[in-house]
Structure 1
Amino acid sequence: MSEQRQSYNEEFKKQTVKYIQEQCKSVTDIAEELNIPAKTLHSWLGKYRQFDNESVASVDRVRELEQLLKQKEQELKEKDRRIANAEEELAIVKKAVHIFSKPRN
């Protein structure tokens, strides 16, 4: 006798894909865990995958975050340089004000 075919609603499929994306396990492991064929999960991934749900452990996401970190570090260094320049200019202006505010005899 043949097994009865299981039917899943759209929300279950979307939640399952989100779960797959958040895990560091393989699709095969998750398929065994959920008792759903891996081929079915792969087809759901193709249809419902959203890249903003990818786990941080994915190689592409790690590269993206590393690049963002480097960019932010460069921006921070630039801001530090501008602050240092502004502080130096302020010190010069303070000295000039002090010098020119002295009464002449």
Structure 2
Amino acid sequence: MGEQRQRYNEEFKKQAVKYVQEQTKTLPEIAEEMNIPAGTLKNWMTKYRSFENEPVGNPEKLRDIEKRLQASEREKEDLREELAILKKALHIFSKERN
């Protein structure tokens, strides 16, 4: 016969989610540690997650993300300028000459 399904109360689920948010381990690692299926823990995260429990990312990671964001913004602006130039060139070269 199959195993009986484990039932958890709401408080346990909330505490498990809080624990996940306070850790730096991956969700599957924590699920294994707590002997809970990772999918179940993920479902609990969706339902009970509150962002005030999550640690602030380390400053180096935040600086790296900020640099990548700035680089993306510069690239996007460059592409806008290139598009504007191409539109002008298309307009100039598509005029009929007499």
TM-score class, shorter-chain normalisation, is: 0.5 to 0.7
Contact 1:24–1:55 under 8 Å retained in 2: no
Map of 2:20 onto structure 1: 20
* Structure 1: gaps spanning 5 or more residues: 67-105
* Structure 2, unpaired ranges of 5+: 67-98
For the pair 1:32 / 2:32, whether they are aligned, the reply is yes
Coordinate RMSD, CA, aligned: 2.4
Q: CA separation in 2, counterparts of 1:37 and 1:19?
A: 15
Offset of residue 56 of structure 1: 2.4
Which 4+ runs in 1 deviate beyond 6 A?
none
Distance change >3 Å, CA 29–CA 58, structure 1 → 2: farther
Distance 1:57 1:11 in 2: 27
Quote the residue 1:91 is aligned against. none
In the TM superposition, what are the counterparts of 1:47-86 in structure 2 within 5 Å? 47-57=47-57, 62=62
2:41 counterpart residue number: 41
Rg comparison, structure with higher value: 1
TM-score, with length taken from structure 2 = 0.58
